[in-house]
Structure 1
Amino acid sequence: MATAQNLSFVLEGIHKVKFEDRPVPELKNPHDVIINVKYTGICGSDVHYWEHGSIGSFVVKDPMVLGHESAGIVSQVGSAVKTLKVGDRVAMEPGISCRRCDPCKAGKYNLCEDMRFAATPPYDGTLAKYYALPEDFCYKLPEHISLQEGALMEPLSVAVHIVRQAGVSPGQTVVVFGAGPVGLLCCAVATAFGASKVIAVDIQQQRLDFAKSYATTSTFMPSNVAAVENAERMKEENGLGAGADVAIDASGAEPSVHTGIHVLRNGGTYVQGGMGRSEILFPIMAACSKELTIKGSFRYGSGDYKLAVGLVSSGKVDVKRLITGTVKFEQAEQAFIEVKAGKGIKTLIGGIDV
């Protein structure tokens, strides 16, 4: 390993990983930079590929480098790069859009028809010593933000996009289902956006305890009853009156979807951020009669990463508290095992030379 030029953590098949020395990326575009990756967070999608070998229609057919939540140090810059220099510390946005399709030209590049997203088949991820990105997909970190925090800009950007999709504004009441990393960050962003009440919902007391100390005004554990009953109890316990202004699902669990629809006031907004089964039962009558605004949310788009860095830089969002621990690069597989077992909130894998 010590003599490897670009040691990478590669998924070959279900529960089958290896360390492999891949070629060092080259500057193929004058606007690109090469980054020495220092920290990478483990995302649920990484674990899902490791556990199942696929997510929906995305199937691992060839060996693929895992990882997409990363930060590092610029080691090379292309001849046309103007905003970065060697030695700059950056958060890495891991999805490169084509910039030419209709969604890209409409400013919705997260919906790009030809997106090349790290660790989504067939594209390699960032769990390697070096990774190439266009300069405008790298976000320079202020000196007071660590590289560990920089790795969390990816899940924070997901949360920023969800909360922006919901249009959360000062004084609103927000319910967030799922107190995992993205759900917790949704709570933090909603609070930063001025929500007067932010309620975290989960079925694990330990997660709710953390959420209460982190960025919520209250928490709620659903009972094993109908979604309408849980929604009514939540409204009563939290003084929501006719219902919440915004419901965000970051769990993908069908009961959460149902409860989210029922806990909203007439004219409220529902955003689906969590991915669950491809098809579920849906309370369409309630959605129609309340005239709800219902939106999906996928990854992140224009301005989300920049805002994420700004929220952390200003102290409005604390991502450091979500970091449970850091393991060495050589222990990457053990980190996956622990994350699959539900240990901690966010585990980071250090770079090969950290």
Structure 2
Amino acid sequence: MPDPSVPATMRASVLLEQGVIEMQERPVPVAGPGEVLVRVASVGVCGSDVHYYRHGRIGDAVVDAPLVLGHEVSGTVVDVGSGVPETRVGERVAIDPQVPCRRCRHCLSGRFNLCREMRFYATPPVDGAFADYVTAPADFAHPVPGTMTDEAAALLEPLSVGLWSIHKAAIGPGDQVLVAGAGPIGAMVAQAARAAGAADVVVTDLVASRRERITSLGATRALHPVEDADAVAALEADSFVECSGATPALLQGLRAVRPGGSVVLVGMGADEAALPTAYLAAMEISLTGVFRYVDTWPRGIALAQAGMVELDALVTHRYPLEEVEAALDADSDPQCMKAVVQVS
């Protein structure tokens, strides 16, 4: 039976236009066939949320109508649509915020993250999770163990970026990995790399507080990209994962990879950058990108349960739903690693 406490309306924090957030009262969405209705518990603040809030767009994705941000989400199933067992009501879940078409060649070949018809939370025109309730495909709402906090469950989404990144980089036991950027995604990549067996994970960042923190979150070493440039250049990393979005970091990391190594682009940076193509070709360096993830929640949950990744320790700032604007500005505090909106 559906949870009888579900109201007819809910709160939603809405981005009206660039830099303008308004709390609105909206109807609670209805779970359609194959869907679940989830009462939102925690929502992590992602750099993409901040980018939409401050700039109104990311590349070709433009906020041209009111939009609810937030896609790192956990909660509790309170109702189900047709075809979904009612026994799921009451489950605590973490949501993979993708809704692929399930019909195209990418979906059918297991690469649904590349679906051209993808509907993704908090990507125009699809609303996200800074609200009391959301709907999700039932098979993309992953049950989480009782030992996992709501905040940790929400952070399975950025962990998924880290897991997909190390998958694309083909990181394995004994590898040396260079990561640019000691923010939340850099920390997730570092932890995922260590969980995959990497022996040495070197992380670069300009900010001292982030370098200090990252060694407790997967990194074996933390270097300043300018002051320690010689040490970075001396590396022969098996893989380089670029999480900062800074072109100088990208160019530095490319030359710190061994011949035949791999480079994975994760950070949101310039739309274009001049690359040393002759060098990449001569060194046979593989260069690829990351766009979301595929089937990473089960692995993330298992790693968290086994104590091989730490999620709760990333959370430094917490805000209620009424203070989403403050949460989106939390990165102005150099001590902020990860801000989370506590909805319920």
Q: Give TM-score, length-normalised by structure 2.
A: 0.95
What is the match of residue 307 of structure 1?
A: 299
Match of 1:70 among 60, 70, 73: 73
Cα shift at 1:305: 1.5
What is the match of residue 273 of structure 1?
A: 266
Cα shift at 1:22: 1.4
Letter in 1 for 2:40: V
State the distance in 2 between where 1:152 and 1:258 align: 29
The reply on whether 1:40 has 2:22 as its aligned counterpart is no
Post-superposition CA distance 1:299-318 (Å, at most 9, x none): 111x2121111111111000
- Where 2:12 maps in the other structure, the secondary structure is strand
What is the match of residue 318 of structure 1?
A: 310
The reply on whether 1:104 has 2:97 as its aligned counterpart is no
What is the match of residue 244 of structure 2?
A: 251
State the distance in 2 between where 1:333 and 1:84 align: 37
What is the match of residue 291 of structure 1?
A: 284
What is the match of residue 233 of structure 1?
A: 231
State the distance in 2 between where 1:204 and 1:182 align: 15
What is the match of residue 215 of structure 2?
A: 212
State the distance in 2 between where 1:106 and 1:340 align: 42
Structure 2: stretches of 5+ with no match in the other structure: 1-6
Letter in 1 for 2:61: F
Match of 2:146 among 127, 137, 143: 143
Match of 1:199 among 177, 198, 202: 202
Q: Show structure 1 runs of 4+ deviating over 4 A.
A: 340-343
Structure 1: stretches of 5+ with no match in the other structure: none
Match of 1:52 among 55, 68, 84: 55
What is the match of residue 19 of structure 1?
A: 23
- Where 1:215 maps in the other structure, the secondary structure is coil
The reply on whether 1:6 has 2:3 as its aligned counterpart is no
The alpha-carbon distance between structure 1 residues 84 and 57, as it changes in their structure 2 partners (threshold 3 A), is farther
What is the match of residue 331 of structure 1?
A: 323
Letter in 1 for 2:342: G
Cα shift at 1:259: 1.1
Post-superposition CA distance 1:155-206 (Å, at most 9, x none): 0001110111101100010000011100111000000100010001111111
Number of matched pairs? 338
Cα shift at 1:286: 1.5
State the distance in 2 between where 1:214 and 1:83 align: 39
What is the match of residue 157 of structure 1?
A: 160
Post-superposition CA distance 1:270-324 (Å, at most 9, x none): 11111201011112122111001111111111x2121111111111000111011
Conservation of the 8 A alpha-carbon contact between 2:79 and 2:86: no
The reply on whether 1:166 has 2:169 as its aligned counterpart is yes
State percent identity of aligned pairs.
36
Cα shift at 1:327: 1.4
Conservation of the 8 A alpha-carbon contact between 2:162 and 2:185: yes
Letter in 1 for 2:26: R
Conservation of the 8 A alpha-carbon contact between 1:77 and 1:84: no
- Where 1:22 maps in the other structure, the secondary structure is strand
State the distance in 2 between where 1:79 and 1:204 align: 50
Q: Give TM-score, length-normalised by structure 1.
A: 0.92
The alpha-carbon distance between structure 1 residues 205 and 342, as it changes in their structure 2 partners (threshold 3 A), is closer
- Where 1:156 maps in the other structure, the secondary structure is helix
State the distance in 1 between where 2:281 and 2:223 align: 26
- Where 2:76 maps in the other structure, the secondary structure is strand
State the distance in 1 between where 2:50 and 2:312 align: 22
What is the match of residue 116 of structure 2?
A: 113
- Where 1:47 maps in the other structure, the secondary structure is helix
Conservation of the 8 A alpha-carbon contact between 1:180 and 1:345: yes
What is the match of residue 3 of structure 2?
A: none
